[in-house]
Amino acid sequence: EIVMTQSPATLSVSPGERATLSCRASQSVSSNLAWYQQKPGQAPRLLIYGASTRATGIPARFSGSGSGTEFTLTISSLQSEDFAVYYCQQYNNWLLFGQGTRLEIK
């Protein structure tokens, strides 16, 4: 059984700075990994799929990297609208989400 672990649980960053979020799989998921953003009271939104491909309409400041078991979501220059909860999801062996990282304003 695959376990997805996101770190840190909460990340405090100032607007304009870079944010780096991590996601680790307990076994290889190849590049079958997605990232989602969820704001309070809203449904999640797909940001990245295939570990590094931006979904339609997603700004270039969002980037994903990694393969196998280690993945990273980087937001290059934080905007006010980027403060939210971020989830990774593997879809290599059925589907499973990580527990989420809350990105908050420092």
Partner 1 sequence: EVQLVESGGGLVQPGRSLRLSCAASGFTFDDYAMHWVRQAPGKGLEWVSGISWNSGSIGYADSVKGRFTISRDNAKNSLYLQMNSLRAEDTALYYCAKGPTGRVMRAFDIWGQGTMVTVSS
Nearer to partner 1, 16 or 40 (CB): 40
Half-sphere exposure of 44 (CA within 13 A, CB side): 15
Nearer to partner 1, 44 or 61 (CB): 44
Q: Smallest gap, in angstroms, from Cβ of residue 74 to partner 1?
A: 18
Do residues 38 and 84 lie in contact, with contact meaning Cβ atoms separated by under 8 Å? yes
Phi then psi dihedrals of residue 81, to 5 deg: -80, -5
Find all residues with CB under 8 Å of 81, minimum gap 6, and list them: none
Q: Please give the structure tokens belonging to residue 104.
A: 């908050």
Q: Smallest gap, in angstroms, from Cβ of residue 10 to partner 1?
A: 13
Among 89, 80, 77, smallest CA distance to 31 is for 89
Nearer to partner 1, 28 or 93 (CB): 93
Judged by the rule CB under 8 A, the positions of this chain that interact with partner 1 are 32, 34, 36, 38, 43-46, 49, 55-56, 85, 87, 89, 91-100
Q: Smallest gap, in angstroms, from Cβ of residue 57 to partner 1?
A: 11
Q: Smallest gap, in angstroms, from Cβ of residue 16 to partner 1?
A: 28
Specify the amino acid at residue 93: N
Nearer to partner 1, 13 or 46 (CB): 46
